[in-house]
Amino acid sequence: MSFVRRLLKKFLFYEEPDKQEKFILKNNEAVSVKDSKSQHSIDNVLEQKKKEEEKGPDPDDAISDDYDTNLEYIKRVFSIPLNSDIVLREFDIMYGCKPVRAFIIFFDGMTDTEIINNYILKPLMVNSVMLLKDIDEDLEDYISKKLMPHCQVKIVKAYSKVIDEVNFGGCGLFVEGLSVSFSADVKGWDHRGIERPNNEIVIRGPQEAFNEVLRANNAQIRKRIKDADLIVEDVLVGKISKTPCSIMYIRDVVNESLVAEVRRRLKGIKVDYMLDSGVLEQLIEDSTIYPSPQVISTERPDYVCELLVNGRVAIIVSGSPNVLVVPTTAFDLMHSAEDIYIRYPYVNLLRFIRYTAAFLALLLPGLYLAITCYHHEMIPTDLLLAIEASREKVPFPSLVEILLMEVSFELIREAGVRVPGPIGPTLGIIGALILGQAAVAANIVSPILIIIVALTGIGSFAIPNYSLAYSIRILRFIFIFLGSMAGFLGITLGLFVFGVWSTSLKSFGVPFMSPLGPRTSGKFRNVIYKAPEWKQENRPDYLNPKRGKKQAHYSMLWKTDDRKKKK
């Protein structure tokens, strides 16, 4: 009853929209790092971070200088001895001639015990004995500056920081009499190395992919963009999982408000756990029901670098080999990583094939239905009589035939993904062939339908972005229904509504159909048709980057005649 009332209310009354404005990407002026003033949000963030660190810890959270209090607190927090993989090691440090009690705490299996043994325990226990002369520093400086030859040691004043560090593979050191604690990063769990990309295979180009370790992924990008302006900003997402994510951008290229928006969205996620970039994508995207993705997700570091250089922002999630890059436009989803590595004629041919594939995958069954059910005069007479002859024995109407074949094709595809080993892809192909052939022989479907369904399937495989291919698979069914309802009129209606929907969408403030939708400056030469690499002078205008040009007008100086210069 209340459902009906709610429905009526929805239809008869109007709900005011949210007062808050949607995000739009404002224009930036070109500012280089050297002249930056403190109005810029990046500098604001820097100042904010400095302030946070200078601020002392909460009084409740501060580490006490009593050894036993610390020990009890740590034992309680980590549920020792219930937690079996945590290790608490008590030992003594020689301070001058006096022994001082200390303990370290770390998780077994998450840490590299070699490093703990050699670079934390050994110097603390052994070297402290060796240096028995008078020490004029206080204990804190003595330990941190002389006794811990480890590259990443932090002095922290709050329990929560030590606990977070230990949870993520660090080790915490508490010393009697000090109201600070030392935390060292000794991560050493087992992980996958740098391997070939699985889903974005290129013929020409580097064969490295991201793996699950955050810092390794950051390093992959930093080793390609060797610029001090490449910023890696860490954000923790998730209350329980505390997943570290890094936002990467090039400071003097990217638009300030874009970075601010990314930061705002990431900080505004209130979930318990967030495990993978797939989950993150769903939590920060603009529209949930729109079929196509609104962020680029890739596992190739070279592709991410290319996108960063153009003025986008990358979000890396620890534990996920897929990196998100925002913002994106519809046309970027049809680019692949290989596009800049191959030569100008081939890349345009490939683009043409991709767009044809997308067109076929989306519209071919719908068009076939529209033509054979409504517009018979379009078919050449020979073909028409052949189709009619083959359809004589088929008992189903065209629509049922097509749905049958499409659904079976999708079933085979899904099944082929799950079957293990080398049988998987083979099953897909053979299954489809045999099934199709058998269906034709049994007069369940007509032979031309097998061709249609096969072309549609192959077309959807040729689309470079995996999620986009999914979305086209969904939309195809809608066009099938529209085509069978009203022929070309129905298909035009579908294209119109879908087109207007796409044009109204924004991905992080950038309209989804830029640069064709809102006609931005037409100088960016890599939208549908790609100009040669030496002509790629401009960054995309719709990103409003700080520096619009990335190449000189004559980027190939070797082509001009040197003899003229010598004169």
Partner 1 sequence: MQMGNRIRFGSFEAVTFISNLICTKLFLYYTRLTMEDAANAGWISAIVSGITVLIMLTVLLRMYRKFDGKDILDISEIAGGKFLRFITGTVITLSLFTLTVVVIRKFSEDMKIVSLPVSPLSYVMSFFIIGIALACFFGLEAIVRFHAIVIPVIVAGFVVILLGVTPQMDITNLMPFWGTGIKDILTKGFLRSSVYGEMAVLFLLPPFLGGQEKVRRVGYGAFFLSAFFMILGSLIYILANPYPTGLEPFLPIYNMTRVIAFGRFFQRIEALFVFIWAMAALLYLTSTFYFMVYTFAKTAGLKYIRPLVLPFIVIVFSAAFIPDSLMEVISIETYIITGGWLVAFVFTGLILAAASARKRVRKEKCSK
Partner 2 sequence: MKHRQKITRAAVILLSLVVAVSVSGCYDQREIDDLAYPLAVGLDIGEANILRMSLQLAAPLAIGGGGGGESGGGGGGAATETTSIITVDTPSIYSGLDLINNIISKEINLSHAKVIIISRALAEKGIMEYIQAIQRGREFRPNMFILVSEDPPDEYLANLTPILESNPSKYYELLLGKDYASFFEDIRMSDFHFASEVDFREPTAILTGINKKERVDQLAQSGNKELAGKMEGVYQPADIPVVSELKNVVMGMAVFKNGQMVGTLNGAESKCFQMVTGKYEHSYWTFPDEYDPSKMVVMDIMQRTSPKIKAVIKDGKVFIDLVLDLEGDFTSIQSSSDFEDYPDQMENRASEMIKNEIAAMLKKTTDEFNSDICGFGRYVKGRFMTLDEWKKFNWPERYSDTEFNIQVKLKIRRTGLIIRSMGHPG
Q: Which does 111 bind (CB under 5 to 8 A by kind): partner 2, partner 1, none?
A: none
Q: Which does 400 bind (CB under 5 to 8 A by kind): partner 2, partner 1, none?
A: partner 2
Dist. CA 64–CA 279, nearest whole Å: 39
**Can you spell out the DSSP letters for 352-381?**
HHHHHHHHHHHHHHHHHHHHHHT-GGGS-H
Q: Which does 492 bind (CB under 5 to 8 A by kind): partner 1, partner 2, none?
A: partner 1
User: With CB under 8 A as the contact rule, which of the stretches 75-83, 384-392, 426-434, 533-541 interacts with partner 2?
Assistant: 384-392
Residues 8-47 that bind partner 2 (CB under 8 A): 10
Cβ atoms 418, 411 nearer than 8 A = no
Q: How many CA atoms lie within 13 A of 209 on its CB side?
A: 18
Point out which residues bind partner 1 (CB under 8 A).
14, 16-17, 21, 371, 374-375, 377-378, 380, 486-493, 495-497, 499-501, 503-504, 511, 513, 516-519
- Binding-site member from 151, 289, 345, 422 for partner 2 (CB under 8 A): 289
- Here's the x/- map for partner 2, 477-516, by CB under 8 A: it reads as ----x--xxxx-----------------------------
30 CB-contact burial (10 Å; exposed 0-12 / middle 13-18 / buried 19+): exposed
User: With CB under 8 A as the contact rule, which of the stretches 307-315, 375-383, 522-530, 543-551 interacts with partner 2?
Assistant: 375-383
Contact between 474 and partner 2 per CB under 8 A: no
- Binding-site member from 388, 415, 424, 504 for partner 2 (CB under 8 A): 388
- Binding-site member from 382, 422, 553, 563 for partner 2 (CB under 8 A): 382
Q: Where are the beta strands (DSSP E) in 158-301?
A: 170-175, 181-185, 230-237, 243-250, 296-298
Nearer to partner 2, 11 or 558 (CB): 11
Nearer to partner 1, 13 or 558 (CB): 13
Q: What are the distances in angstroms from CA 116 to CA 70, 90, 112, 113? A: 21, 13, 7, 5
**Can you spell out the DSSP letters for 131-182?**
--S---S-HHHHIIIII---S-EEEE-BHHHHHHHHHTTEEEEEETT-S-EE
Nearer to partner 2, 376 or 549 (CB): 376
**Can you spell out the DSSP letters for 454-486?**
HHHHHHHHT-S-HHHHHHHHHHHHHHHHHHHHH
Nearer to partner 1, 400 or 497 (CB): 497
Other Cβ atoms less than 10 A from the Cβ of 364: the count is 19
Nearer to partner 1, 202 or 486 (CB): 486
Contact between 290 and partner 2 per CB under 8 A: no
Contact between 447 and partner 2 per CB under 8 A: yes
Q: Residues 6 or more apart from 83 whose CB is under 8 A from it?
A: none
Dist. CA 110–CA 473, nearest whole Å: 42
User: With CB under 8 A as the contact rule, which of the stretches 5-13, 31-39, 58-66, 70-78 interacts with partner 2?
Assistant: 5-13
Cβ atoms 94, 211 nearer than 8 A = no
Tokens of 369: 């239905």
Contact between 6 and partner 2 per CB under 8 A: yes
Nearer to partner 1, 168 or 290 (CB): 290
275 CB-contact burial (10 Å; exposed 0-12 / middle 13-18 / buried 19+): middle
Pairing of strands 170-175, 98-107: antiparallel
- Binding-site member from 148, 271, 440, 531 for partner 2 (CB under 8 A): 440
To the nearest whole angstrom, how small is the minimum distance from the Cβ of residue 492 to partner 1?
4
To the nearest whole angstrom, how small is the minimum distance from the Cβ of residue 387 to partner 2?
6
- Binding-site member from 441, 559, 563, 566 for partner 2 (CB under 8 A): 441
- Binding-site member from 16, 60, 377, 561 for partner 2 (CB under 8 A): 377
89 CB-contact burial (10 Å; exposed 0-12 / middle 13-18 / buried 19+): middle
- The answer to whether the Cα torsion of 63, 68, 72, 74 is positive or negative is positive
| Number of chain residues interacting with partner 2 (CB under 8 A) | 38
Where do contacts with partner 2 occur on this chain (CB under 8 A)?
Answer: 6-7, 10, 288-289, 372-374, 376-377, 381-382, 384-394, 397-400, 437, 440-441, 443, 446-447, 481, 484-487
